[in-house]
Amino acid sequence: MALQKTVTFIIERQDSPTGKPYTQEFELPWRPALNVVAALMEIQKNPVTKDGKRVAPVVWECNCLEKVCGACMMVINGKAQQACCALVDKLKQPIHLAPARTFPVIRDLLIDRTVMFENLKRIQGWINVDGTWEVRIPPRQNPNTAATAYEISHCMTCGCCLEACPNVGPQSDFIGPSPIAQAYMYNINPLGEYDKANRLNALMAKGGITSCGNSGNCVKACPKGIKLTTYLAQINRDVNIQALKNIFDH
Amino acid sequence: MFNITFYLRRLHSLVGLFMGAFLMVHIGNNSAVLLGPDMMNMVIGTMDKMPMFIRLPIELGLIAAPFGFHALYGVYIALQARNNPIRYGYLQNWQFTLQRWTAWYLLVFLIWHVYYLAIHTRITGIHLCFEFLQSYLSNPVYWVLYVLGMWAAIFHFTNGINTFCMTWGIAKGPRIQMVINMACMGLCGALCLETLALMLVYILPIF
Amino acid sequence: MAKKRFKVIVVGGGLSGLMAALKICEAGSEVDIFSYCPFKRSHSLCAQGGMNACMDTKGEHDSIYEHFDDTVYGGDFLADQVAVKGMCEGAPALVRMFDRMGVPFTRSAEGVLDLRNFGGQKNKRTVFAGSTTGQQLLYALDEQVRKWETKGQVKTHVFWEFLKIIKNKEGVCCGIVAQNMNSMEIEAFRADAVILATGGPGMIFGRCTASTICNGSAVSAVYQQGARIANPEFVQIHPTAIPGSDKNRLMSEACRGEGGRIWVYKDGKPWYFLEEMYPAYGNLVPRDIASRAIYDVCVNQHLGVNGENKVYLDLSHIPADYLEKKLGGILEMYSEFMGEDPRKVPMEIYPSVHYSMGGIWVDRKHNTNIPGLLASGECDHQYHGANRLGANSLLSAAYSGTISGPEALKWAETGDRGSAISDGELEEARMECVHEYERILKMDGEENARQLYHELGELMNRYVTIERVNADLDYCYEEVKKILARWDNIGVTDRGKWANQECMFVRQLRNMILYALVVIKAARLRDESRGAHFKREFPTRDDEHFLKETIANYDPKTEDPIITYGDFDHSIIKPRPRNYAVAK
């Protein structure tokens, strides 16, 4: 009889925001197409460590399991990624899971990404419409521009790029790659363009685009394949022009 | 609206390029040694002919001050990063990390280098020449530290050109960024080989 | 003179909740939004294919009436027609609003909004943003709400779980109790009106296309506090999902809208059974019809792929660059999870629980039967009748928010709100929830909550989905009641003070079980076949007895639902037989 194939996880845990991190090892039966979230669900059903100790189930965040909500980002074998589409068969065992410590940890793999949503306020991440009421026929848009906006609009605020970026973290006030790309998306919108100068000026402030050190990790980490470095370079170009305007227009 | 951070950071980038230009001149002068000790002594001699009232302001204003700014602001920048090339071992991330590691090394190396060869020699009246350098670099530790110092400066500069193109929004797409990166690293390699060659002159019985 | 500012609580940060919140902010009042997760992670973002609106930009002479008629006909005449008409009329303006907000809709070469085909409709009527329309619409509203947040009119309570509503002496809803899912603190909040926009109950079926947060717990909680649930038995089964052990991942109807074909091998040759059975609509029959046909082909005719319960959804005949432009994201998802490229080989799919047409009973203005409590979005029962047309859910979610928001304010201003609740009453409501939570924290019985949940899902998936049999439903009901009894004997392993997901799940589980009972009982008592509800014993629609909304009331003594039937408005379009084999 063939031995039951198993999968081993080494999970970095922490009981509270101020708790001390520790690791636990779990072993569970392999099955085809098993992903990390499904494995965590199995552990949740029967939270017993490899050495037979019954422990509290591992805490993590997930919603859609389809790689669109961005909730289940964690560090898997050293790299930030979505747990729901991290297939066990493609990972080296034992599989190490850790919270993304760029962000404050709440418990186990659960992190607090409030800062990402606050960043969207910093860049005025919206189109400043008059209201939800009917105004008139909306402006037409170049389908190619719309396609670029569509690409950037896939950003699910998961935080992979921030976790991978060496310049984002408690040691720095860098806003990170994703909100900068978002700012570009609003800037190319026919209505969003009206606030372009405000967004660029916000990005020229402390912790803005100037804190980018061109490590290029963001574009490799992005689970949505958004061309982050390209948009960062574009915003760099735009802020230079904006800086000239700031000097010579007044 | 004036964002001081923005201007400081851009200034840092420009000054870096300027320092790089100085580095190129410096390497060019040093390369004279490849043509023999006499050539080297002649180049040093030409420099020495410059009167102090011209030379000192140039050294302080065009070299020391920009360097001081680049170094101090650079320390601040380097402290903003938590290098992670082990976890994210991509080429560009290694370059990012090396840019910071070379910066730390250069900070110490240049203080030593400038103090000893520019300040100490002047105070004590030592005459700078090939023979003096040869005896100085005969200490293998010094020699290795000097080679590393030169390589660090070359990498820091050439990689700096590379990131300059991104930071200023010159190279936007992934292809052009890759092309520029490769060109810069090619330049880096060439300069490193050249400096290695000129450093070998001091320890090998060539001339 | 400035208008008096009211405070409305919106529970749920999906499309409907955010839309309602925007309307309230624009009217000058304040909103507290409570959500399980940052709004950008709400389940609305899983909607892929598009949103229906009669834009008529394809030279097809599409009309709002056609949209209205398709929706009513698709819903097998169980939807309130006045409400549906309002929704269809409001749709084009909503699309234009989203467009102004920056939604990156897919555009034609000329730069106007592109339209695509969708099930149950002959005209191109579906605006879309690639294959992630829900994500894009949700983000647009999220951004607008964030703008209002910076102006101080919106207060967000992210990672808070709604526990129950607070009623005053007159039974009027005037606040909620909620729990912080990280710090576990329980607090009571006052409000002039409360809007529930908490989405569907997909998770009671175990595996489904819904997000893990779609547990129906909030709906069940207010049902236990006296809110009625309507049409709960109408649960949409989406024909094309990728079966998975952790969840069934949706494969958008847009695949068929863009030309995808469904087939199985029969006698060694591909059999395009939908095209053969329904020549008029072909692969674009409504979801209930397609799901039943796939079920029939697999379960009754044993023709599934490799003998398993799967059929092919084939896009391989369509040029790859066209697919990339129109469906990009979801095809990647298929490759990623299944390891095969759908541009080259047919996808293997099977129907899965997807959407609840039923929900909290609401009137046309989205008021529930509890004064001061409104419901909108998937958690209400409006607009879709017995079956929802694809791409009508984003529409109904957004549209219902435009109704419930202003209506909540109208109630706050002119409603008969009775006496104000005292601080003491507020604290009493809070303490009730605190005690309940502490009881759960101490549970040390034999049962494993996850195991109970697994059993619940298995039962629901087996007996209460595509084909329903009365004897099975009776059995299922008894089994679920047993699970309810076993719930009392759960043991929890996690006694942690931070983010105790296990204890929260135990509490949600009870709500889910009670909701499941409502679905089963309502399905058992509706002896006909209509839309998504199909019984072989009663294969036809019975307008004489069942052209009525199912109404479920909670009986606190037995915990059983009490099922009655209510009338609704079907006066505009006379009910006619539904047959997709011929053009209507």
> A128-142, A231-245, C354-368: lowest mean pLDDT where?
A128-142
- Give tens-digit pLDDT for C286-338: 999 999 999 999 999 999 999 999 999 999 999 999 998 888 788 988 988 88
Instruction: Return the closest-CA partner of residue C76 out of C583, C581, C580.
Output: C580
Chains A vs C: touching, with 3+ CB pairs under 8 Å? Answer: yes
Same-domain pairing of A142 and A234: yes
Residue A30 maps to a domain? yes
Amino acid occupying residue B166 = M
| Residue C108 CA neighbour count, 13 Å, CB half | 9
Same-domain pairing of A88 and A48: yes
Evaluate whether C219 touches C515 at the Cβ level (below 8 Å).
yes
- Give tens-digit pLDDT for C216-269: 999 999 999 999 999 999 999 999 999 988 899 999 999 999 999 999 999 999
**A and B: number of Cβ contacts within 8 A:** 111
Instruction: Return the closest-CA partner of residue A62 out of A82, A79, A88.
Output: A82
- Give tens-digit pLDDT for B33-84: 999 999 999 998 888 888 889 989 999 999 999 999 999 999 999 999 999 9
Question: Which residues have C-beta within 8 Å of that of residue C176, sequence separation ≥ 6?
Answer: C9, C11, C34, C162, C163, C164, C165, C166, C188, C189, C191, C194
Give the model's pLDDT for residue C3: 61
- The pLDDT of C142-156, averaged and rounded, is 97
User: Which residue of C lies nearest to A87 if distances are taken between CA atoms?
Assistant: C337
- Pairwise CA distance, residues C549 & C253, whole Å: 28
Give the model's pLDDT for residue A250: 85
Answer whether B84 sits within 8 Å of A169, measured CB to CB.
Answer: no
Instruction: Return the closest-CA partner of residue C140 out of A179, A125, A136.
Output: A125
Q: What is the CATH number of the domain that holds B161?
A: 1.20.1300.10
Residue A1 maps to a domain? no
Substitution target in C57, C107, C252 with the highest count of A β-carbons within 10 Å is: C107
Same-domain pairing of A13 and A47: yes
Instruction: Return the closest-CA partner of residue C291 out of C203, C207, C387, C359.
Output: C387
Looking at the complex, does the CB of residue A244 fall below 8 Å from at least one CB of chain B? Answer: no
A212 CA to centre of own chain:
16
Answer whether B96 sits within 8 Å of A213, measured CB to CB.
Answer: yes
- Give tens-digit pLDDT for C330-367: 898 898 888 889 999 999 999 999 999 999 999 999 99
Evaluate whether B128 touches B117 at the Cβ level (below 8 Å).
yes
Give the model's pLDDT for residue B205: 82
B65 CA to centre of own chain:
15
Residue finishing a domain among A82, A111, A140: A111
Instruction: Return the closest-CA partner of residue C122 out of C68, C77, C60.
Output: C60
Same-domain pairing of A143 and A22: no
Q: Which residues are C32's β-sheet partners?
A: C9, C155
* Chains contacting chain A through 3 or more C-beta pairs under 8 A: B, C
Q: How confident is the model at residue B1 (pLDDT cuts 50, 70, 90)?
A: low
Evaluate whether C29 touches C7 at the Cβ level (below 8 Å).
yes
The tally of domains found in chain A comes to: 2
Answer whether C97 sits within 8 Å of A16, measured CB to CB.
Answer: no
- Give tens-digit pLDDT for A209-230: 999 999 999 999 999 999 999 9
Domains and CATH numbers, chain C: 7-52+130-236+354-414 (3.50.50.60), 239-352 (3.90.700.10), 423-544 (1.20.58.100)
Instruction: Return the closest-CA partner of residue C513 out of C223, C228, C299.
Output: C223
Query: Hey, is A25 helix, strand or coil?
Result: strand
Q: Which domain holds residue B110?
A: 4-203
- Give tens-digit pLDDT for C426-485: 999 999 999 999 999 999 999 999 999 999 999 999 999 999 999 999 999 999 999 999
B-chain CB neighbours of A204 within 8 Å are: 3, 5-6
Q: What is the CATH number of the domain that holds A230?
A: 1.10.1060.10
Question: Which residues have C-beta within 8 Å of that of residue B58, sequence separation ≥ 6?
Answer: none
Backbone angles phi, psi at C565, to 5 degrees: -125, 140
* Chains contacting chain C through 3 or more C-beta pairs under 8 A: A
- The pLDDT of C507-519, averaged and rounded, is 98
pTM of this structure: 0.96
Q: Is the pLDDT of residue A242 over 50?
A: yes
Sole residue written with tokens 């009027």: C172
User: What are the DSSP calls for C31-55, one per residue?
Assistant: EEEEESS-GGGSGGGG--S-EE---
Amino acid occupying residue C267 = D
Q: Is the pLDDT of residue B2 over 80?
A: no
> Strand (E) positions, C248-365?
249-250, 261-266, 269-271, 311-314, 347-356, 359-360
C175/chain A closest Cα distance in angstroms: 26
Residue finishing a domain among A76, A111, A146: A111
Same-domain pairing of A121 and A242: yes
- Give tens-digit pLDDT for C174-225: 999 999 999 999 999 999 999 999 999 999 999 999 999 999 999 999 999 9
Q: Is the pLDDT of residue B111 over 50?
A: yes
Give the model's pLDDT for residue C146: 98
Give the model's pLDDT for residue C329: 81
- Pairwise CA distance, residues B65 & C353, whole Å: 70
Number of Cβ atoms within 10 Å of the Cβ of B47 = 11
A110/chain C closest Cα distance in angstroms: 8
- CA angle (A196 as vertex; A195, A201 as ends), nearest 5: 105
User: What are the DSSP calls for C552-579, one per residue?
Assistant: EEE-TTT--EEEEEE-----SS------
Evaluate whether C89 touches C227 at the Cβ level (below 8 Å).
no
Please list the active-site residues of C. 287
Query: Hey, is C242 helix, strand or coil?
Result: strand
The tally of domains found in chain B comes to: 1
Same-domain pairing of A50 and A151: no
Question: Which residues have C-beta within 8 Å of that of residue C143, sequence separation ≥ 6?
Answer: A120, A125, A126, A127, C101, C102
Residues 93-132 of A with CB under 8 A from C: 106-108, 110, 112-114, 117, 120-121, 125-129, 131-132
Evaluate whether C137 touches C14 at the Cβ level (below 8 Å).
no
Give the model's pLDDT for residue B52: 86
Q: What is the CATH number of the domain that holds A95?
A: 3.10.20.30
Q: Which two tokens stand for residue C286?
A: 């409504």
- The pLDDT of B111-121, averaged and rounded, is 92
Question: Which residues have C-beta within 8 Å of that of residue C306, sequence separation ≥ 6?
Answer: none
Q: Which domain holds residue A178?
A: 114-248
Q: Is the pLDDT of residue C90 over 50?
A: yes
Query: Hey, is C308 helix, strand or coil?
Result: coil
Residue A198 maps to a domain? yes
- CA angle (C45 as vertex; C44, C49 as ends), nearest 5: 95
Give the model's pLDDT for residue C338: 86
Residues 126-185 of A with CB under 8 A from C: 126-129, 131-135, 137-143, 146-147, 149-150, 153-154, 156-157, 185
Same-domain pairing of A139 and A55: no
Instruction: Return the closest-CA partner of residue C15 out of C403, C407, C394, C406.
Output: C394
Give the model's pLDDT for residue C1: 40
Residue finishing a domain among A81, A111, A141: A111
Same-domain pairing of A71 and A103: yes
- Pairwise CA distance, residues B56 & B50, whole Å: 10
- Pairwise CA distance, residues C509 & C204, whole Å: 9
Residues 89-128 of B with CB under 8 A from A: 90, 92-93, 95-97, 99
What whole-number percentage of chain A has pLDDT above 90?
A: 94
* CA distances, C324 to each of C130, C134, C345 (Å): 9, 18, 15
Q: What share of chain A is helix, strand, coil (3-state, %, to 5)?
A: 35, 15, 50
Q: Is the dihedral of CA C346, C348, C350, C356 positive or negative?
A: negative
Q: How confident is the model at residue C2 (pLDDT cuts 50, 70, 90)?
A: low
- Give tens-digit pLDDT for A182-214: 999 999 999 999 999 999 999 999 999 999 999
Q: Is the pLDDT of residue B3 over 90?
A: no
Q: How confident is the model at residue A1 (pLDDT cuts 50, 70, 90)?
A: very low
Same-domain pairing of A60 and A83: yes
Same-domain pairing of A122 and A224: yes
Give the model's pLDDT for residue A140: 87
Q: Is the pLDDT of residue A23 over 80?
A: yes
Q: Which two tokens stand for residue A160?
A: 């992979």
Q: What is the mean pLDDT of chain C?
A: 96
* CA distances, B106 to each of A25, B144, B206, C83 (Å): 44, 14, 29, 73
Q: Is the pLDDT of residue C502 over 60?
A: yes
A-chain CB neighbours of C135 within 8 Å are: 68, 153-154, 156
- Pairwise CA distance, residues A115 & C336, whole Å: 30
Number of Cβ atoms within 10 Å of the Cβ of A205 = 17
- Pairwise CA distance, residues C69 & C573, whole Å: 7
Peptide bond into A94 cis (omega under 30): yes
Looking at the complex, does the CB of residue B13 fall below 8 Å from at least one CB of chain A? Answer: no
Same-domain pairing of A75 and A135: no
Backbone angles phi, psi at C97, to 5 degrees: -65, -50
Looking at the complex, does the CB of residue A216 fall below 8 Å from at least one CB of chain B? Answer: yes
- Pairwise CA distance, residues C519 & C54, whole Å: 33
Residue A240 maps to a domain? yes
Model ipTM? 0.97
Evaluate whether A83 touches A90 at the Cβ level (below 8 Å).
no
Give the model's pLDDT for residue A209: 96
Residue A220 maps to a domain? yes
Same-domain pairing of A107 and A118: no
**A and C: number of Cβ contacts within 8 A:** 193
